A and B are shown apart, each in its own frame.
Chain A
């Protein structure tokens, strides 16, 4: 069974902390994505990566960075967490190719106090 796993389901952090969200996929997919999900806004793409050590900005990259040192792992980093980054974060992966389905992890609900 295909699997995308995220390191935490729930996370509570304080303003100014550095936060790491980890995502691992076991499907040997080239593409990996980080989204945030907010009520009424749907999913918005933060960053994506189409190969190891490659990354591209999505629609809302401000305040975030990413790291992809291994093909199966894609990390989202909040350098200095702020309250407006309280959200649900979803990771996804897909094979290279424009018709390939994205597989999603269960999400991490991050609260920044």
Chain B
């Protein structure tokens, strides 16, 4: 079945460091790919998405490119801030109209001043 694998956390960075969180997927067909973020004490919110190969999603300085050849959707940010400390989830939505998402296990990011 479809699945998503994220790099293990936690990831600890200093402010202004470069961030990469790896995400790879297994799916049949052409899934849509998402990054969600969960700030402490809150629910998840959509950070960015890409719906077809070579699409780049971007938001709040974060970017991810849908790479079909490597089945990857790595999250990057050039300069992280303390306020980016959160849990990040990679997810895919397969074909069909139900809107079901399959999530990775989540990666905790801690940014220190």
Within 8 A of A (CB), among B34-87: 36, 41-46, 49, 51
- Report A-chain residues with C-beta under 8 Å of the C-beta of B25: none
**Chain B residues with a Cβ closer than 8 Å to the other chain, count:** 26
Is A90 among interface residues, defined by CB-CB distance under 8 A? yes
Is A4 among interface residues, defined by CB-CB distance under 8 A? yes
A-contact 0/1 string along B92-108, CB 8 Å cutoff: 01011111111111100
- Report B-chain residues with C-beta under 8 Å of the C-beta of A105: 43
Is B20 among interface residues, defined by CB-CB distance under 8 A? no
Which size class do A's interface residues fall under?
Answer: 20 to 34
Kindly state the separation between the CA atoms of A92 and B41 in the bound complex, as whole angstroms.
Answer: 16
- Report B-chain residues with C-beta under 8 Å of the C-beta of A104: 36, 43-45
Within 8 A of B (CB), among A24-51: 31, 33, 35, 40-45, 48, 50
Q: Is the CB of B99 within 8 A of A42?
A: no
- Report A-chain residues with C-beta under 8 Å of the C-beta of B104: 42
> From B32, which residue of chain A is reached at the shortest CB distance?
A99
CB distance from A23 to the nearest CB of B (A): 11
Kindly state the separation between the CA atoms of A33 and B42 in the bound complex, as whole angstroms.
Answer: 17
Q: Is the CB of B105 within 8 A of A102?
A: no
- Report B-chain residues with C-beta under 8 Å of the C-beta of A102: 44, 46, 99, 101
> From A40, which residue of chain B is reached at the shortest CB distance?
B105
A42 and B32 contact, Cβ closer than 8 Å, known pairs A97-B97, A106-B41 = no
- Report B-chain residues with C-beta under 8 Å of the C-beta of A31: 98-99
Q: Is the CB of A99 within 8 A of B100?
A: no
Kindly state the separation between the CA atoms of A58 and B89 in the bound complex, as whole angstroms.
Answer: 19
CB distance from A7 to the nearest CB of B (A): 14
Kindly state the separation between the CA atoms of A85 and B43 in the bound complex, as whole angstroms.
Answer: 19
Q: Is the CB of B105 within 8 A of A48?
A: no
Kindly state the separation between the CA atoms of A101 and B93 in the bound complex, as whole angstroms.
Answer: 10
Binding site for B on A (CB under 8 A): 4, 31, 33, 35, 40-45, 48, 50, 56, 58, 90, 92, 94, 96-107
